Amino acid sequence: MANAIKLKQGEAKTVNFNITKGGSNVTSCTLTLQVKEKASDASPVISKLDADFNKTDASNGNYTLTFSVDDTKGLKAKTYVSELKTVITADTDVDKSYDIPFVVERAVIADA
């Protein structure tokens, strides 16, 4: 997962993820995503829980996550760090973790 997530300040957008594990069934996995200014920050600027992900096509490894206008409205235009964590088995161990650049671009027209 090398692609960045890019949104403008105050933009609502749906992002697609494809998650597989060597042919294993990942339909019941638990997902979380956090966005921080720096990886060492204690608190995220955006936090998405498992219930925030749309899993209607999970049998094919496809998930979507919608960011609302308010998620990025007050953020500075810059690149943040985000991490997508995936727990595939019914334990608390993280089975997969992806670091994804999260780019907030300056909004020219919208109130940011």
User: For residue 76, what is the domain's CATH number?
Assistant: 2.60.40.10
Q: Is 42 domain-assigned? A: yes
Q: Is 95 domain-assigned? A: yes
Q: Which two tokens stand for residue 40?
A: 């060492």
| Inter-residue contact 109 to 70 (CB < 8 Å) | no
Q: Is 110 domain-assigned? A: no
Mean of per-residue pLDDT scores for the chain: 87
Q: Is 111 domain-assigned? A: no
pLDDT, residue 36, reads: 97
Q: Is 58 domain-assigned? A: yes
Q: Is 12 domain-assigned? A: yes
pLDDT at 76 over 50: yes
| Inter-residue contact 16 to 3 (CB < 8 Å) | no
Domain containing residue 90: 5-105
pLDDT, residue 98, reads: 86
Per-residue model confidence as pLDDT tens digits over 17-60 = 888 776 666 778 889 999 999 999 999 999 999 999 999 998 88
Domain count, the chain: 1
pLDDT at 89 over 50: yes
pLDDT, residue 112, reads: 46
pTM confidence score: 0.85
